[in-house]
Amino acid sequence: MLETLKSEVYKANLELPQRGLIKYTWGNVSAFDKASQLFVIKPSGVNYDEMEPEDMVVCNLNCEVVEGKLKPSSDMPTHAVIYKKFDDIGSVVHTHSPWATTWSQSGLEVPAMGTTHADTFYGAIPCARFLTPEEINKNYEYETGNVIIETFKEKHINPHEVPAVLLRGHAPFVWGDDCQSAVMNAVVLEEICKMNIFTRQLNPFAQTLPQEILDKHFERKHGANAYYGQK
Amino acid sequence: MLETLKSEVYKANLELPQRGLIKYTWGNVSAFDKASQLFVIKPSGVNYDEMEPEDMVVCNLNCEVVEGKLKPSSDMPTHAVIYKKFDDIGSVVHTHSPWATTWSQSGLEVPAMGTTHADTFYGAIPCARFLTPEEINKNYEYETGNVIIETFKEKHINPHEVPAVLLRGHAPFVWGDDCQSAVMNAVVLEEICKMNIFTRQLNPFAQTLPQEILDKHFERKHGANAYYGQK
Amino acid sequence: MLETLKSEVYKANLELPQRGLIKYTWGNVSAFDKASQLFVIKPSGVNYDEMEPEDMVVCNLNCEVVEGKLKPSSDMPTHAVIYKKFDDIGSVVHTHSPWATTWSQSGLEVPAMGTTHADTFYGAIPCARFLTPEEINKNYEYETGNVIIETFKEKHINPHEVPAVLLRGHAPFVWGDDCQSAVMNAVVLEEICKMNIFTRQLNPFAQTLPQEILDKHFERKHGANAYYGQK
Amino acid sequence: MLETLKSEVYKANLELPQRGLIKYTWGNVSAFDKASQLFVIKPSGVNYDEMEPEDMVVCNLNCEVVEGKLKPSSDMPTHAVIYKKFDDIGSVVHTHSPWATTWSQSGLEVPAMGTTHADTFYGAIPCARFLTPEEINKNYEYETGNVIIETFKEKHINPHEVPAVLLRGHAPFVWGDDCQSAVMNAVVLEEICKMNIFTRQLNPFAQTLPQEILDKHFERKHGANAYYGQK
């Protein structure tokens, strides 16, 4: 079932430590199959050296395991909510990458300070609120997904223009059209989180990127008349 | 004698530089054998390239060498005290990993700022006091162990819930059920020490993790109803 | 056409991630052929694993592609302006290396704080202004080149004495006699940007390098009586 | 001539980039032969990939080349002065390692904040003054050596107890009994420079290591009754 997607998800999970985003098993990647409305996700807490593509778990949008001999990542319900409520998301990545996690712990959104940001994210990356005790005790990982959706709705952010969120006191969730772009977006997020901390320290009065440069850089890569790359 | 444990201790010591926790020989791992009440520890100041599993030294809880042609790590008595006074510790790790050492030098405890912390440590990681001149001159490494015990007793901390301590002006000691988990706990400590310094710099008013999220994350991995991983 | 130069440009582009200056394809190197007044540049957005020397694109100083089956880097016009307006530049490098990008985002010039700086850059590295909305909408990448030229003219800086500029809110452009020296200058820039942030934090009153030491170090490597190296 | 020493010096130079202390050729290691009163040093500005043990240059304490087809490191006279004026130094290392260079640029001495420091350096690592214009124009590298000697004399520091110095606005010089220990001392210096910057940021009131712990750690490794290691 979904063997190609399993292989992609497997490779993308291995990419997380290779690109310095995680240590051990502190992250997970999933990918969505639009035709079947199912998604493939990493099993929970399995050592990457021992993991095989066929260990990936297939789940549906009701958070049920459809196929797989192992338990899915404990964050599976968060992935499910993102696929269910945001249209056309192809892949979701969760990491504890240190600089993005530092911003998550700070409770602050990541402002657009430069074109590295604008090439991928059209505006500030929001930081979601803490879950309430009720939400935590009800269904923690599912409610985490709901708080992500709420954040984008309340701030009127298009998840295709800003494909990442920080969970307060936790770490980032990032998404994209496919596994490769979702992982790349997680790498970009980590890099801008690192640079923005030090930009602020170097010059507390550093201004955010002017709107017209934000527009220009996002458009030249992602707009209708994009001219970056070979397309 | 204890050949399997020697092999594990040997491998865990090599893991310290591989995971970026130490340079040269600036660390040591030991592991405890409950049946014989003996522990196996790295020899002192031996180059890792020349070290073999059979060079590991076997010691008892009275800090005596039971087997081994080399001298044990000079920190051996600190390990002995931890095994003697804390029940059911399987392995002890000492490193000078830079971010944890920075916190040790600062004299501050490491507050729980996020779920990366809560997944492993149930609350702040304490910083033990400096040893007195008398303690230093008496039996430095043994008294270091006593100060660790005193710290957990006075602060009413369960060493199984917070498996690490910072020695003021020195560096961390970390422990776990076995070599692998003790080394992993040392990696987690290093990562949260790095993130927490910058969290504070980014937002001096960043709040520590709400108690209910600390509970939730520690419980889902280590509680009676833990659901993380494949168990 | 220009096969040797293509090979050099290809290798220099691969050097960017190897030396930690970029991730993915976030940079580009070009090199100029004085005889033909043409330059060779990396294609846009091509994965480095799949890139071959023959994929390099040949352009002229009017920003036209002279040879190549792929589209050139979208930053090609900026390279063209630099070759056209600054005499005797052999190679241009653009990266988003994190510390230099942090300074670019801060809007500050990089002062000469030490001899690591003086060995390569004779004085502060300027930060160019933001482009105006008109410049952005006209021909963004070409106007970026013009703003670089304007910066050096207004500040009376010799581009052979200070072979780098920061683009405000963006990232650095660096140049040199050939690909190797241009990449090395980009490495030096990254290193001094890192060190200078922390020099200021450690001692906000740290003074810039005395003029006579700046002179001495730049001269011993680049002056008429240079005595560094084997020449 | 001195073939064994040439091989050691060659290997130690390669160790500098391997241990992350330098990029390119930004450093040099030399070693002294007591019997002949000659020292062996790296040639100037030679690419490490192309360097061979027989390229090492033999010099005497009058800064003359005794053997070698290549020019010695331009810093050679600084090495000569250190061997001449400090007794029993076996090897000298110069790097631009980033954290130690940051302290050099700050103009501050490195205080002993922890036992990582005390295990190698018995007290603060001094920062030498800037050279005067007269010294710079006379014989820059030789006078640099003299300023190092002056620093230790004026501050009554024993170079065997504190085997390193920061040159203001420049970078560190480090020494030891042989190439291996000199390189290791340079690694320790780099690590404590990194940790001490952040210790101060984390707790501006962090106190330096109590004298009795400084004594204890330096003595247990380097004192008459040292008990670290296998000796």
Interface probe with D: pick from B52, B56, B78, B105, most Cβ of D within 10 Å: B105
For chain D, how long is the longest CA-to-CA vector? 54
User: Residue A86: what pLDDT?
Assistant: 98
Contact C202 D171 (CB under 8 A): no
Contact A105 B220 (CB under 8 A): no
Quote the CA–CA distance of D95 and D105 in Å, as a whole number: 14
Distances (CA, A) of A220 to B168, C135, C138, D92, D115: 53, 15, 14, 53, 53
CB contact at 8 A, C40 and C58: yes
Q: Mind listing the pLDDT tens digit for each residue in D140-183?
A: 999 999 999 999 999 999 999 999 999 999 999 999 999 999 99
Phi, psi of C47 (to 5 degrees): -60, 130
Quote the CA–CA distance of B43 and B74 in Å, as a whole number: 8
Contact C105 A196 (CB under 8 A): yes
Q: Which chain A residues are within 8 Å of B229, Cβ to Cβ?
A: 44-46, 71
User: Residue D145: what pLDDT?
Assistant: 98
Quote the CA–CA distance of A76 and A60 in Å, as a whole number: 10
Partners of chain C (3+ Cβ pairs below 8 A): A, D
Q: Which residues are paired to C174 by β-bridges?
A: C93, C164
Q: Which of D194, D202, D216 sits opposite B140 (nearest CB)?
A: D216
Q: Is the pLDDT of residue D231 over 80?
A: no
Question: How close does chain D come to C84, measured CA to CA in Å?
Answer: 30
Task: Please tell me if residue A228 touches chain C, with a CB cutoff of 8 Å.
Answer: yes
Query: Mean pLDDT across the stretch B74-96?
Result: 98
Query: Mean pLDDT across the stretch B99-118?
Result: 98
Q: Mind listing the pLDDT tens digit for each residue in A90-131?
A: 999 999 999 999 999 999 999 999 999 999 999 999 999 999
Q: Is the pLDDT of residue C94 over 80?
A: yes
CB atoms within 10 A of CB C230: 11
Q: Band of the pLDDT at A229, cuts 50, 70, 90?
A: confident
Task: Please tell me if residue B95 touches chain D, with a CB cutoff of 8 Å.
Answer: no
Query: Could you tell me which chain B residue has the CA closest to the CA of D231?
Result: B71
User: Residue B48: what pLDDT?
Assistant: 87
- Per DSSP, the three-state class of D197 is helix
Q: Band of the pLDDT at D75, cuts 50, 70, 90?
A: very high
CB atoms within 10 A of CB A57: 23
Contact A98 B195 (CB under 8 A): yes
User: Residue D48: what pLDDT?
Assistant: 87
Task: Please tell me if residue D63 touches chain B, with a CB cutoff of 8 Å.
Answer: no
Q: Which of C107, C133, C197 sits opposite A198 (nearest CB)?
A: C197
Q: Which chain B residues are within 8 Å of D185, Cβ to Cβ?
A: none
Residues 6+ apart with CB under 8 A from D124: D109, D110, D111, D112, D162
Q: Which of B195, B202, B230 sits opposite A46 (nearest CB)?
A: B230
Q: Is the pLDDT of residue C230 over 90?
A: no
User: Residue C25: what pLDDT?
Assistant: 86
Q: Is the pLDDT of residue C6 over 80?
A: yes
User: Residue C121: what pLDDT?
Assistant: 98
Q: Mind listing the pLDDT tens digit for each residue in B6-34?
A: 999 999 999 999 999 999 989 999 999 99
User: Residue A30: what pLDDT?
Assistant: 98
Task: Please tell me if residue D225 touches chain B, with a CB cutoff of 8 Å.
Answer: no
Interface probe with B: pick from A106, A113, A131, A138, most Cβ of B within 10 Å: A106
Contact A213 C130 (CB under 8 A): yes
Q: Band of the pLDDT at B227, cuts 50, 70, 90?
A: confident
Query: Could you tell me which chain D residue has the CA closest to the CA of C20?
Result: D23
C6: which 2 tokens?
Answer: 């293509």
Contact D230 B71 (CB under 8 A): yes
Quote the CA–CA distance of B76 and B61 in Å, as a whole number: 10
Contact B70 D230 (CB under 8 A): yes
Quote the CA–CA distance of C195 and C103 in Å, as a whole number: 12
Angle at B166 between CA B160 and CA B168, to 5 degrees: 150
Contact A140 B199 (CB under 8 A): no
Q: Which chain D residues are within 8 Å of B56, Cβ to Cβ?
A: none
Q: Is the pLDDT of residue A180 over 80?
A: yes
Q: Which of C55, C119, C178, C215 is catalytic?
A: C119
Interface probe with D: pick from C97, C99, C115, most Cβ of D within 10 Å: C115
Active site annotation includes C49: no
User: Residue B121: what pLDDT?
Assistant: 98
Query: Mean pLDDT across the stretch B202-211?
Result: 96
Using the structure block, give the residue that is written with the tokens 């209708």: A224
Task: Please tell me if residue A220 touches chain C, with a CB cutoff of 8 Å.
Answer: yes
Q: Mind listing the pLDDT tens digit for each residue in C127-179?
A: 999 999 999 999 999 999 999 999 999 999 999 999 999 999 999 999 999 99
Q: Which of C115, C191, C220 sits opposite D169 (nearest CB)?
A: C115
What percent helix, strand, coil does chain C show, rounded to 5?
45, 15, 40
Q: Which of C191, C203, C207 sits opposite D98 (nearest CB)?
A: C191
Q: Mind listing the pLDDT tens digit for each residue in A62-72?
A: 999 999 999 99
Lowest mean pLDDT across A22-26, B40-44, C53-57: A22-26
Question: How close does chain B come to A22, measured CA to CA in Å?
Answer: 10
Read off the amino acid at residue B178: D
Half-sphere exposure of D139 (CA within 13 A, CB side): 11
User: Residue D45: what pLDDT?
Assistant: 86
Angle at C116 between CA C225 and CA D197, to 5 degrees: 160
C143-171 b/e (C-beta count within 10 Å ≥ 16 → b): bbbbbbbebbeeeebebeebbbbbbbbbb
CB contact at 8 A, D59 and D65: yes
Q: Band of the pLDDT at C48, cuts 50, 70, 90?
A: confident
CB contact at 8 A, D197 and C202: yes
Partners of chain D (3+ Cβ pairs below 8 A): B, C
Contact D70 C230 (CB under 8 A): yes
The number of residues making up chain D comes to 231
C94: which 2 tokens?
Answer: 């653009």
Task: Please tell me if residue D216 touches chain B, with a CB cutoff of 8 Å.
Answer: yes
User: Residue C228: what pLDDT?
Assistant: 82
Q: What percent of chain B has pLDDT over 70?
A: 100
Average pLDDT of every residue of chain C: 96
Crossing angle between the packed helical segments A179-202 and B179-202, to the nearest 10 degrees: 50
Contact A197 B199 (CB under 8 A): no
Q: Is the pLDDT of residue C226 over 90?
A: no
Task: Please tell me if residue C195 touches chain D, with a CB cutoff of 8 Å.
Answer: yes
Alpha helices in chain C (DSSP H): 3-18, 76-85, 98-106, 115-118, 133-154, 179-202, 211-222
Q: Which chain A residues are within 8 Å of B230, Cβ to Cβ?
A: 43-46, 70-71
Q: Which of B114, B216, B230 sits opposite A70 (nearest CB)?
A: B230
Q: Band of the pLDDT at B224, cuts 50, 70, 90?
A: confident
What domains sit in chain B, N to C, each tagged with a CATH number?
3-222 (3.40.225.10)
User: Residue D230: what pLDDT?
Assistant: 82
- Cβ neighbourhood burial of B134 (10 Å; 0-12, 13-18, 19+): exposed
Q: Which chain A residues are within 8 Å of C197, Cβ to Cβ?
A: 198, 201-202
